[in-house]
Chain A
Amino acid sequence: MVITVQNSIYSVLFLVLSFVSASSLLFLLECEFIALMFIVIYVGAIAVLFLFVVMMLDLKTANMGKDTLKYFPFGSFIGLVFLVELMLIISENFKSNPYNKDFLFNFYTNWYDKIDSLTEIEAIGQILYTQYVVQFLIAGNILLLAAIGAVVLTINTDNSKLNKNQIIFKQLSRNYKNVLITSKN
């Protein structure tokens, strides 16, 4: 849908959807931290950046639906090739359950895991707030610095606003005769 939708804003939104679904796959694999990072970075930063770019570019939605049929046979051929390769790889690698052969395979439930287990985020948080507290503080300082810097570089004080005011009468009354003389405002 990301590449087939005509409206570019919709396509960016579909891109966000695909990021979210990828991170939900990571959630299913119990990698919560990476999944959340995925959402924060890809959706929060990159996709929003794309959205801004798309909004600024002001693209015209041209109708390109006619051409899609032309590419259909070639595209479906490539898709078939990839499907066959994927099937081959799966049949090669997953003949049996790899866990059964493993040294660590255990039929019984590990009760320690049930009782004492921490999720990834909890573990990372516990390390971050105890062992790496200085680094955490430095990162906070960097954020403060980024905020200060962004404010400094973008702020418009009243002073500069006054200078940029447009005096239309002065502009219109300007002609080639008084150009060299008018030095005073």
Chain B
Amino acid sequence: MMTLNTLLFKEVNILPELFLGISIVYLVLHCTFLSMQKSFPLIQNSVLNLGILVLFFVWFLLINDRLDVLSFGSFNNTIVFDYISFSSKTIITILSALCLLMMSQYLSDQKLNHFEYILLILLAVLGLFLLCSSNDLITAYLAIELQSLSFYVLAAFKKNSTFSVESGVKYFILGAFSSSLFLFGSSILYGISGTVNFEEFRDLFFYLVPGETVNPVTEVSTTFSEITKKIMAPNFANTGLNSSEINALITECKEFADPNSIFTYEKFFAYHYLYSAIMDNLMSSGKAFEVTDLPYNASMNEAHLELQSCKPDPETKSNAFRLAWIYLDTIMEYLKSSKCTDFDESYQKNFILSKTSVDIGLLQVGLMFILISLFFKLAIAPFHVWAPDVYEGSPSSSSFFFSVVPKLGIFVLLLKIFHYSFFGIIDYWRHFISIVIILTILAGSFGGLEQRKVKSLLAYSSISHMGYSLIAFSTGTLEGIQMLFCYLIIYSFSGLCIWSIFIILRLKNNYESKGNKDLTDLVLLSKSNRMIAIFFATVLLSVAGFPPMIGFLVKINIFLSSMESAMYFVALISILCSVVATFYYIRIIKVLFFEKVLVGQLYYPLNTQKSLLIVGLFFSLLFLFVNPSLLFLFSYKLSLLVNPI
């Protein structure tokens, strides 16, 4: 009782987001008033710690929000609160808090002294939160905009570096382009269906049987049971009924008017199709009839409504059904009279169910636009060209954040659109995705071979990893979704490990502000700091998919799940390419350990806090190899709750 009164906001269901947004506004005010003094105090470190504190509280609110139901929509069903959004938000919070911790040293080294950097990161996290819990296209679009706008500014943050500004502009133009594609695709979807809500999309399209043309009916069945069998058959939408069958159905159905007949479900089903067909006919026949001509029009609608919302006991159901049937009969008599001559053929035409009238082609176009725009955001192969440039140009802390945090949120959106709403037409978007997968993995593996800069190399590595997780995404099975989450979690955490090692190594030379690190900057790291070199090498091997690490397990499970759903060719290509991609990971290791130079580089010693964090990350990855069932069980629960049908 007492707790409920204190937390009235708990009813709102977006308490973490609300808290984050309000605390961002407070931080803006706080920092502005502090920095208005003439001496320009550098409050950036304190703001960073405040940001971590805010993220910690958000995390606390998140895990404190008990999730009692499978999914719960609020705000007119535009925000949904389910297990997938809950857990992905938790993961995103942890990841971004760790990111903030790791980048603090880098920020003060590079003299990125504006406190706004932290605010922008918090705003991006807010956008990702809303992205995870959005349940319609408008909210998703706004969340993507919030997230990517702050990314553009983060990329261009280092104003005195031309590379950074250039990469910011590049990111901005391509991101705006892809957002416009998203809007275009969602407007097409809205045009087709009249809604933007994911749940309504699912209700509309889940039972859809896509078919191009309607085959003429060959066999004629006359008895009621045969017709009902035909109606109940799964390919009914393609076959339809012909006129003699309909006539037989009508005569059979007439006996419902008799109060002594027995009510069965098949008969109800047949009646329902007849009714909908006749109503369609009334709507679309184009005959200028006045509604008042039909007797009992209003009461027939009432009867139909009663039938639809009727109570489970069979007595009232059959009564309502009989009532409806009587009026239906009157309408048919009216239609068959002289006022409406061409009833029979239009009636038959409409009886071939209205399901095929949904234009799958247009739907596909809309979905493709949305896919392409999200692929732009994920940097997937034909749309990946910006990624190495932007990662290279923007400050390392920003590219750290770009590559680790947002992928999970965008994949949650992809799952919601394509696995939750449009799972019914999976065969229509799967092929496109499998082509994209092959391109992505080829580009990611072969593009990285030439790179000399660490950041571009990591960008290519992230491209190929997005390709692998797309494989799991496009299988469309439960195992696929499970492996998708496994892979994304492992990708994020090992990416976090690699990037943080990369970002906290500070060279001791004259060019302290030199942002971009070549591979040669890491020469013989094993001599100067043996432990971190070993960590770095092990995590790299795990990412490459070498057997004694968790990366191997998730990768092989992805290949297995793709073979289970008969995507042999994709699996073959991606296995071969993963061998190729191992080359550039091993090259880093070679640079770390076995380079033949006399003098290695000197580094500043590491901070205790950060080294503890890195050790923790590394050992959690090791632990997950020893006991991977933790991860697998978690992601299995996630995958079971993606489709609560």
Chain A interface (Cβ < 8 Å from any Cβ of B): 103, 131-135, 137-139, 141-142, 144-146, 148-149, 151-153, 155, 157-160
Shortest distance between the CB of A102 and any CB in chain B (Å): 11
Whether the Cβ atoms of B123 and A141 lie closer than 8 Å is yes
When C-beta atoms are compared, the residue in chain B nearest to A139 turns out to be B142
Report B-chain residues with C-beta under 8 Å of the C-beta of A131: 75-76
Q: Is B285 an interface residue (CB 8 A)?
A: no
Which single member of B21, B78, B143 contacts A132 (CB below 8 Å)?
A: B78
Q: A132-B78, A138-B146, A144-B28 are in contact. Are A158 and B40 (CB under 8 A)?
A: yes
Q: A133-B75, A141-B123 are in contact. Are A149 and B138 (CB under 8 A)?
A: no
Q: A134-B79, A158-B40, A159-B40 are in contact. Are A142 and B142 (CB under 8 A)?
A: yes
Besides the contacts A135-B78, A149-B116, what 4 more A-B pairs have beta carbons closer than 8 Å? A134-B139, A141-B126, A145-B120, A152-B153
Shortest distance between the CB of B54 and any CB in chain A (Å): 15
Q: Is B157 an interface residue (CB 8 A)?
A: yes
Whether the Cβ atoms of B40 and A142 lie closer than 8 Å is no
Whether the Cβ atoms of A152 and B157 lie closer than 8 Å is yes
Chain B CB within 10 Å — which of A103, A133, A137, A160 has the most?
A137
Q: Is B454 an interface residue (CB 8 A)?
A: no
Which single member of B28, B76, B142 contacts A138 (CB below 8 Å)?
A: B142
Q: A142-B149, A149-B153 are in contact. Are A134 and B78 (CB under 8 A)?
A: yes
Using an 8 Å CB-CB cutoff, how does the interface string of B25-69 with A read, 1 for contact, 0 for none? 100100000000000100000000000000000000000000000
Whether the Cβ atoms of B116 and A148 lie closer than 8 Å is yes
Determine the distance from Cα of A146 to Cα of B145 in the docked complex, in whole angstroms. Answer: 11
Q: Is B114 an interface residue (CB 8 A)?
A: yes
Whether the Cβ atoms of B156 and A153 lie closer than 8 Å is yes
Report B-chain residues with C-beta under 8 Å of the C-beta of A153: 153, 156, 159
Chain B interface (Cβ < 8 Å from any Cβ of A): 14, 21, 24-25, 28, 40, 75-76, 78-79, 114, 116, 119-120, 123, 126, 130, 138-139, 142-143, 145-146, 149-150, 152-153, 156-157, 159-160, 288
Determine the distance from Cα of A55 to Cα of B101 in the docked complex, in whole angstroms. Answer: 47
Q: A153-B159, A158-B40 are in contact. Are A138 and B139 (CB under 8 A)?
A: yes
Report B-chain residues with C-beta under 8 Å of the C-beta of A134: 14, 75, 78-79, 139
Report A-chain residues with C-beta under 8 Å of the C-beta of B123: 141, 144-145, 148
Determine the distance from Cα of A141 to Cα of B129 in the docked complex, in whole angstroms. Answer: 13
Determine the distance from Cα of A144 to Cα of B24 in the docked complex, in whole angstroms. Answer: 10
- A-B pair count, CB < 8 Å, reads 70
Shortest distance between the CB of B224 and any CB in chain A (Å): 38
Report A-chain residues with C-beta under 8 Å of the C-beta of B138: 132, 135
Report A-chain residues with C-beta under 8 Å of the C-beta of B145: 142
Report B-chain residues with C-beta under 8 Å of the C-beta of A145: 120, 123, 146, 149-150, 153
Report B-chain residues with C-beta under 8 Å of the C-beta of A159: 40
When C-beta atoms are compared, the residue in chain B nearest to A133 turns out to be B75
When C-beta atoms are compared, the residue in chain A nearest to B17 turns out to be A134
Determine the distance from Cα of A157 to Cα of B24 in the docked complex, in whole angstroms. Answer: 23
Determine the distance from Cα of A58 to Cα of B75 in the docked complex, in whole angstroms. Answer: 52
Whether the Cβ atoms of A144 and B78 lie closer than 8 Å is no
Determine the distance from Cα of A103 to Cα of B150 in the docked complex, in whole angstroms. Answer: 53
Report B-chain residues with C-beta under 8 Å of the C-beta of A146: 149
Whether the Cβ atoms of B21 and A135 lie closer than 8 Å is no
Determine the distance from Cα of A138 to Cα of B127 in the docked complex, in whole angstroms. Answer: 8
Determine the distance from Cα of A137 to Cα of B143 in the docked complex, in whole angstroms. Answer: 11
Can you pick out 14 interface pairs between chain A and chain B where the beta carbons lie within 8 Å of each other? A103-B288, A131-B76, A132-B75, A132-B76, A132-B138, A135-B138, A135-B139, A135-B142, A137-B21, A138-B142, A144-B24, A145-B149, A149-B152, A152-B114
Shortest distance between the CB of A103 and any CB in chain B (Å): 8
Determine the distance from Cα of A159 to Cα of B42 in the docked complex, in whole angstroms. Answer: 12
Chain B CB within 10 Å — which of A131, A139, A145, A153 has the most?
A145
Which single member of A133, A138, A152, A155 contacts B143 (CB below 8 Å)?
A: A138
Shortest distance between the CB of A155 and any CB in chain B (Å): 8
Report A-chain residues with C-beta under 8 Å of the C-beta of B76: 131-132
Shortest distance between the CB of B221 and any CB in chain A (Å): 40
Determine the distance from Cα of A103 to Cα of B289 in the docked complex, in whole angstroms. Answer: 10
Determine the distance from Cα of A153 to Cα of B159 in the docked complex, in whole angstroms. Answer: 7
Determine the distance from Cα of A148 to Cα of B76 in the docked complex, in whole angstroms. Answer: 31
Report A-chain residues with C-beta under 8 Å of the C-beta of B120: 145, 148-149, 152
Report A-chain residues with C-beta under 8 Å of the C-beta of B160: 160
Q: Please list the 4 inter-chain residue pairs (A to B) with the smallest Cβ-Cβ separation, ordered nearest first.
A: A149-B153, A138-B142, A152-B116, A134-B75
Whether the Cβ atoms of A149 and B40 lie closer than 8 Å is no
Which single member of B14, B28, B130, B143 contacts A148 (CB below 8 Å)?
A: B28
Report A-chain residues with C-beta under 8 Å of the C-beta of B25: 144
Determine the distance from Cα of A155 to Cα of B115 in the docked complex, in whole angstroms. Answer: 13
When C-beta atoms are compared, the residue in chain A nearest to B154 turns out to be A149
Determine the distance from Cα of A145 to Cα of B24 in the docked complex, in whole angstroms. Answer: 10
When C-beta atoms are compared, the residue in chain A nearest to B20 turns out to be A141
Shortest distance between the CB of B121 and any CB in chain A (Å): 11
Report B-chain residues with C-beta under 8 Å of the C-beta of A152: 114, 116, 120, 153, 157
Report A-chain residues with C-beta under 8 Å of the C-beta of B116: 148-149, 151-152
Determine the distance from Cα of A138 to Cα of B134 in the docked complex, in whole angstroms. Answer: 12
Determine the distance from Cα of A146 to Cα of B120 in the docked complex, in whole angstroms. Answer: 10
Determine the distance from Cα of A160 to Cα of B113 in the docked complex, in whole angstroms. Answer: 12
Determine the distance from Cα of A20 to Cα of B114 in the docked complex, in whole angstroms. Answer: 42
Report B-chain residues with C-beta under 8 Å of the C-beta of A135: 78, 138-139, 142
When C-beta atoms are compared, the residue in chain A nearest to B150 turns out to be A145
When C-beta atoms are compared, the residue in chain A nearest to B136 turns out to be A135
When C-beta atoms are compared, the residue in chain B nearest to A148 turns out to be B116
When C-beta atoms are compared, the residue in chain B nearest to A159 turns out to be B40
Shortest distance between the CB of A158 and any CB in chain B (Å): 6
Report A-chain residues with C-beta under 8 Å of the C-beta of B146: 138, 141-142, 145
Report B-chain residues with C-beta under 8 Å of the C-beta of A149: 116, 120, 149-150, 152-153
Determine the distance from Cα of A12 to Cα of B138 in the docked complex, in whole angstroms. Answer: 35
Determine the distance from Cα of A167 to Cα of B558 in the docked complex, in whole angstroms. Answer: 64
Determine the distance from Cα of A3 to Cα of B569 in the docked complex, in whole angstroms. Answer: 60
Report B-chain residues with C-beta under 8 Å of the C-beta of A155: 114
Determine the distance from Cα of A27 to Cα of B625 in the docked complex, in whole angstroms. Answer: 67
Shortest distance between the CB of B68 and any CB in chain A (Å): 22
